[in-house]
């Protein structure tokens, strides 16, 4: 597969624009009312009181299998013909790599792609050459708080932070990205993200060139080929960044060549806030073999799949019997995300405000797979993988009274149980005991005792992410959802595996089971709509 042909895809928004204009005009008056509330939004919070120059240094007794320098730096990349594009990238320098690989994505702002094995020890010497502070979060990994990339461990320009951890996760598709307080969105947007694959020993799955990362993001480029990000646009922040061009693996690439072979696609939604409803244009089922935390007990067939920001899914796709020249599109189908940003919905739609891309739920092609004459390995779909033991609810110390976490909007601020992020603050309801199992319930919506119209009108999907562990989804209650929304997404959820991120749609309640083990300390949990996160829709939980 050649991931590096620069074919440029412009999405066709014309129908979208036509469709939304009426709604926009209808809501315009209310829109102004909402605007007038914005200046009271509070972006300023107290500093963290830490010395951001203090990094973590090398532990000489730690003997890594993989030792690597990752330098976050600004660079100019030839993305298009003409002007180079200013991006941020992780530049890798391998010092030691025994039985693991670190693959760069040439011509891409993304990467690298780590391939490691369970039990291996990894040392990453992170060097920050960015203008602002940064920190690396190892998304999905079960590692100690100091290694996890909590914003309190962000380092300034010129400093180094050494991550050292043993890989003890299940084989699966994990990833890494910056996590500094209030500026995660812009740093990820400019290019900082990579994949962290823990390899399995499944001999019956596509491997090597047939095991392919697909990192999906949306971006906006200006006429000078520069990335556009509206950090200071409150509307854009409130909604989350939505681009007008899809990029796959950090290239504005839409045509990927495939052999007549069976593929394993490791799909990561690396977008700041866009949600995808993945489907194949040839009408075949989406065959899901893995989710955030590795392989499912058995493959699951879906007509389409909802993938929120930060989530991963592993897809099985067989091109082995396809005709040469056949084109299959990976699409995002249209859906109703249930959001309302004011009276009647759509008022603050990104397409109308500040020149950003179409709203979540507008359909488009993500990329095209073109089958070449090359024949490759054909595999048959295994009927089962390793079984996953369900966490019994009876094991939970709070099975009768789950902790509740409400994600909603309060006075133009996205909040969790009415609170926003404070660097070291942990409320009593956020403290859990080591070696216990709990049930947590996440609710998209306030408790119905809101402060008036605006509060209840603001609803958006929130991809919920917990650091430090993988959990199981035990219930998805949709009785509070609008059926107009639910009917367009209901077949798109795979809850049979381990997760670290899940979609919480407006009106939805999701119960998860979590086991707190191995490490004490503070981890964050937050909305993975990165603009919501940067606005403070994030909190700490502490394992004591
Ligand atoms: Cu959110």
Question: In terms of domains, do 175 and 87 share one?
Answer: yes
Q: Are 156 and 219 part of one and the same domain?
A: no
530 C-alpha to center of ligand 1: Å?
A: 8
* 537 alpha carbon – ligand 1 mean position (Å): 7
Range of lowest pLDDT (6-15, 273-282, 307-316, 471-480): 6-15
pLDDT for position 272: 97
pLDDT at 39 over 70: no
CA–CA separation, 318 and 421 (whole Å) = 45
- Residue 381 forms part of a structural domain: no
Distance 401 CA to ligand 1 centre (A): 25
Percent of the chain at pLDDT exceeding 70: 86
> Comparing 138-142, 310-314, 339-343, 469-473, which segment has the lowest mean pLDDT?
339-343
Q: How confident is the model at residue 13 (pLDDT cuts 50, 70, 90)?
A: very low
Q: For residue 89, give its domain range.
A: 66-199
How many angstroms does the Cα of residue 379 sit away from the middle of ligand 1? 39
Q: Report the candidate in 280, 226, 220, 216 with the shortest Cα–Cα distance to residue 253.
A: 216
Give distance in angstroms: CA of 407 to centre of ligand 1. Answer: 8
Asked whether residue 512 is assigned to any structural domain, the reply reads: yes
232 and 91 fall within a common domain: no
Task: Please count the CA atoms within 13 angstroms of the CA of 457 that sit on its side-chain side.
Answer: 18
pLDDT per residue as tens digits for the range 423-446: 999 999 999 999 999 999 999 998
Tell whether 250 and 312 lie within a shared domain.
yes
Same domain, 398 and 363: no
Helix (H) or strand (E) holding 237: helix 234-239
Asked if the model's pLDDT at residue 512 lies above 80, the reply is: yes
Last residue of a domain, one of 375, 407, 438: 375
Mean pLDDT value across residues 353-368: 84
Centroid of ligand 1 to alpha carbon of 284 (angstroms): 32
Instruction: For residue 463, report the distance from its CA to the centre of ligand 1, in Å.
Output: 6
- Separation of 72 CA from ligand 1 center, angstroms? 26
Residue 5 inside a domain? The answer is: no
The answer to whether residue 56 is domain-embedded is: no
Interval between CA 1 and ligand 1 midpoint (Å): 35
Residue 7 pLDDT greater than 70, yes or no: no
**Mean per-residue pLDDT over the chain, rounded:** 88
113 C-alpha to center of ligand 1: Å?
A: 27
| pLDDT per residue as tens digits for the range 363-390 | 999 999 999 999 999 999 999 999 999 9
Does residue 352 lie in a domain region? yes
From start to end of 347-500, where are the E strands?
Answer: 364-375, 403-410, 413-416, 431-432, 436-444, 458-459, 462-466, 471-477, 498-499
| Residue 492 near residue 305, CB atoms below 8 Å | yes
CA 257 to ligand 1 center in whole angstroms: 35
Residue 481 is given by DSSP the state S
pLDDT of 356 > 80? The answer is no
Q: How far is the CA of 490 from the centre of ligand 1 (A)?
A: 20
- What is the C-alpha R_g of the chain? 22
Whether residues 190 and 252 share a domain: the answer is no
* Domain-ending residue, one of 199, 227, 259: 199
Average pLDDT over residues 154-158: 97
Q: Are residues 195 and 243 in the same domain?
A: no
Residue 129 lies in a domain: yes
Q: Are 272 and 343 contained in the same domain? A: yes
Ligand 1 mean position to 416 CA, how many Å?
Answer: 10
192 lies in the same domain as 144? yes
What b/e readout covers 115-141, taking b as 16+ CB neighbours within 10 angstroms? bbbeebbbbbbbbbebeebbbbbbbbb
Give residue 448's pLDDT.
74
* pLDDT of the residue at 450: 54
Q: Which of 375, 403, 425 is the last residue of a domain?
A: 375
Going from the Cα of 461 to the center of ligand 1, the distance in angstroms, rounded, reads 6
Specify the pLDDT at position 11: 37
Closest CA to 463 of 502, 427, 497, 492: 502
CA of 12 from ligand 1 middle (Å) equals 26
Centroid of ligand 1 to alpha carbon of 520 (angstroms):
27
49 falls within a domain: no
What was the pLDDT predicted at 231?
62
C-alpha distance from residue 328 to each of 40, 75, 126, 210, 442 (Å): 48, 34, 39, 16, 37
pLDDT tens digits, one per residue of 204-220: 999 999 999 999 999 99
Overall number of domains in the chain: 3
Residue 309 sits in the same domain as residue 326: yes
For residue 7, being part of any structural domain is answered with no
% of the chain with per-residue pLDDT over 90:
79
Cross-strand pairs, 384: none
* Per-residue pLDDT at 173: 98
Of the two residues 188 and 255, the one the predictor is more confident about is: 188
Same domain, 325 and 397: no
Mean per-residue pLDDT, 393-402: 96
- Measure 505 CA to ligand 1 centroid, in angstroms: 10
Q: Which residues surround ligand 1, an ion (CB under 5 A)?
A: 462, 527, 529, 532
Are 95 and 28 contained in the same domain?
no
- Distance from the alpha carbon of residue 240 to the mean position of ligand 1, in angstroms: 8
Residue 121: give its domain's CATH number: 2.60.40.420
Give the Å distance between the CA of 428 and the centre of ligand 1: 23
């Amino acid at each position: 597969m050649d991931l590096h042909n620069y074919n440029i895809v412009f999405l066709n928004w014309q129908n979208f624009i036509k469709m939304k204009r009426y709604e926009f005009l209808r809501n315009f008056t209310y829109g102004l009312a909402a605007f007038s509330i914005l200046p009271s939004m509070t972006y300023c919070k107290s500093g963290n009181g830490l010395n951001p120059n203090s990094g973590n240094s090398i532990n000489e007794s730690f003997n890594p299998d993989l030792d690597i320098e990752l330098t976050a730096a600004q660079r100019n990349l030839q993305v298009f013909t003409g002007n180079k594009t200013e991006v941020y990238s992780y530049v890798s320098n391998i010092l030691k790599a025994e039985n693991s690989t670190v693959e760069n994505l040439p011509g891409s702002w993304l990467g690298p792609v780590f391939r490691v094995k369970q039990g291996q020890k990894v040392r990453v010497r992170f060097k920050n050459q960015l203008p602002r502070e940064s920190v690396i979060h190892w998304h999905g990994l079960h590692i100690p708080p100091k290694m996890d990339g909590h914003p309190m461990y962000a380092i300034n320009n010129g400093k180094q932070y050494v991550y050292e951890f043993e890989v003890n996760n299940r084989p699966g598709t994990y990833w890494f990205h910056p996590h500094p307080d209030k500026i995660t969105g812009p740093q990820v947007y400019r290019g900082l993200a990579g994949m962290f694959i823990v390899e399995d020993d499944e001999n019956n799955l596509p491997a090597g060139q047939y095991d392919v990362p697909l990192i999906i993001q949306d971006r906006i480029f200006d006429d000078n080929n520069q990335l556009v990000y509206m950090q200071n646009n409150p509307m854009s922040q409130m909604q989350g960044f939505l681009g007008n061009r899809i990029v796959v693996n950090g290239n504005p690439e839409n045509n990927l060549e495939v052999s007549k072979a069976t593929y394993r696609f490791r799909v990561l939604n690396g977008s700041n806030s866009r949600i995808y409803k993945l489907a194949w244009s040839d009408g075949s089922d989406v065959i899901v073999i893995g989710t955030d935390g590795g392989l499912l007990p058995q493959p699951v067939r879906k007509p389409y799949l909802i993938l929120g920001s930060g989530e991963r899914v592993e897809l099985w796709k067989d091109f082995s019997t396809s005709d040469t020249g056949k084109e299959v599109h990976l699409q995002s189908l249209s859906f109703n995300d249930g959001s309302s940003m004011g009276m009647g919905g759509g008022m603050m739609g990104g397409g109308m405000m500040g020149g950003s891309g179409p709203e979540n739920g507008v359909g488009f092609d993500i990329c095209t797979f073109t089958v070449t004459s090359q024949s490759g390995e054909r595999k048959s779909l295994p009927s089962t993988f390793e079984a996953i033991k369900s966490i019994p609810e009876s094991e939970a110390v709070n099975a009768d009274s789950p902790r509740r976490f409400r994600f909603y909007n309060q006075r133009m601020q996205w909040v969790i149980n009415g609170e926003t992020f404070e660097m070291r603050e942990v409320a009593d309801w956020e403290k859990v005991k080591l070696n216990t199992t709990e049930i947590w319930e996440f609710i998209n919506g306030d408790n119905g005792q809101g402060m008036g119209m605006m509060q209840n009108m603001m609803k958006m999907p929130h991809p919920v992410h917990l650091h430090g562990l993988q959990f199981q989804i035990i219930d998805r209650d949709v009785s509070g959802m609008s059926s107009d929304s639910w009917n367009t997404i209901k077949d798109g959820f795979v809850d049979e595996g381990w997760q670290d991120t899940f979609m919480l749609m407006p009106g939805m309640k999701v119960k998860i089971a979590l086991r707190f083990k191995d490490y004490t300390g503070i981890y964050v949990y937050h909305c993975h709509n990165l603009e919501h996160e940067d606005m403070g829709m994030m909190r700490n939980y502490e394992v004591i």
